Amino acid sequence: MGCCIFHLQRICIVPVPKLIKKIIETDPCNPEIFEKKGKIYTFLNPVSYLEAIRNKDLYINFDGIFIDGRFLAIAIAILYHKRIKRCSFDMTSLAPKLFAYTIANSKTIYFVGGMPNEIGPAIKSFTEHYPQLNIAGTRNGYFNSIEEIDSEIQKILIAKPDFVICGMGAVNQEKFLLRLKNAGYEGTAFSCGGFISQTSKSRFIYYPRIFDILDLRFVYRIIKEKHTRKRYLKALFWFPIKIIQEWANCKKAKEE
C-alpha cells in the first residue's frame, strides 16, 4: 500500500509513507555526504512538499531528502514522533560546508540555475567570498526544450565536476538532477531552490541574522520576494491538510 514501518523507541509502531520515510532516513549531520558518489539530494519545505506528494515517483528516486522548513519538521515530529534537524542549501546551512569542502579537497563544482541575468552575479559573489572555489561550469536554469537540457547534461558529463548545484524551482530541478544521474553522472548533486537567484540580488548572506535565529526565514522571503507570497498562503492552508491526509491514509492502509 506504499507504506513502511518505522519502529520508535516507544512501544507503538507508526506507519510511514514512502516520502516521509525517505526524509527520516536522510541524516543531515552525516559527514560523509560529500564523499558519496553518484548521489542526488533535494530539500523539502511545506511549499515544495505539496509538489512532492503530486510527484512521489520522482522524489522517491532521490538518494536523500532534507527538511528545509520548520513546520515540516514539526509536523513529522507530531505525526511520526521523529525529530529531524533542518538542512537547507543556503549560507545558513549546507552551502558554506560544501564550498569549504571543495576547496580543502581540490574538488570542482558546477552551477545550474537562476535566470539568465542572475547566474553571472551569483557566481561573482561566490568567487568573491570563496576565491579558491574551482568552478567547472555554469548555466542559467531556463531551458526551451528537452534537447537543450540534454545538451547541458552532456556538457556536465564531459566536465566531470565533483558536485552539481541546481536551482530551477521545485520539480524542474528534481527532474533535471534525476535525468543527470540516469545519464551516468558519477558525482554528487544537490538542488538549491532559489539560492542562486537570492545570491544574485542581495548580500551574500541572504537572511538577516534575527530571522535565521528565530527560524523565520520564510517570513523574510514573504517580505522580500513578492512572487513567493501566493505559494506560502497556499501552503498555509493546504500543507496541514495534505500531510495529515497522507498520515491518515497510510495508517488506514496499515490497519487493513
**Is residue 191 over pLDDT 90?**
yes
Confidence band, pLDDT 50/70/90 cuts, at residue 222 = confident
CB within 8 Å of 157: residues ≥ 6 apart: 183, 184, 185
Can you tell me the distance from the alpha carbon of 73 to that of 44, in angstroms, rounded to the nearest whole number? 10
Asked if residue 199 has pLDDT above 70, the reply is yes
Q: How confident is the model at residue 256, as a pLDDT? A: 65
Structural domain boundaries of the chain? 3-23+32-255
Whether residue 211 has pLDDT greater than 70? yes
- Residue 246: the pLDDT is 93
Rounded to an integer, the average pLDDT of 28-45 is: 91
Distance of alpha carbon 79 from alpha carbon 5, whole angstroms? 13
Residues 6+ apart with CB under 8 A from 103: 130, 132, 133, 134
Residue closest to 188 by CA, chosen among 164, 169, 156: 164
Q: Using the predicted structure, report yes or no on whether residue 5 has a pLDDT greater than 60.
A: no
CA triplet 177, 92, 109: central angle to 5 degrees?
40
Residue 150 has pLDDT above 50, yes or no: yes
Rounded Cα distance between 145 and 33, Å, is 32
Report the mean per-residue pLDDT for the chain.
Answer: 89
Give the pLDDT score at 203.
67
Percent of the chain with pLDDT over 70: 91
Measured CA to CA, the distance from residue 138 to residue 119 in angstroms comes to: 7
Mean pLDDT lowest for which of 2-6, 24-28, 171-175?
2-6
Q: Distance (Å, rounded) from C-alpha 244 to C-alpha 252?
A: 12
Please give the average per-residue pLDDT across 80-94, as a whole number.
Answer: 92
The number of residues making up the chain comes to 256
Cell of 11: 512501544
Half-sphere exposure in the Cβ direction for 229 (13 Å, CA): 6
* CA atoms of 14 and 3, how far apart (whole Å): 10
For 67-76, write each residue's pLDDT tens digit: 998 899 999 9
Query: 10-26, pLDDT tens digit by residue?
Result: 434 567 899 999 999 99
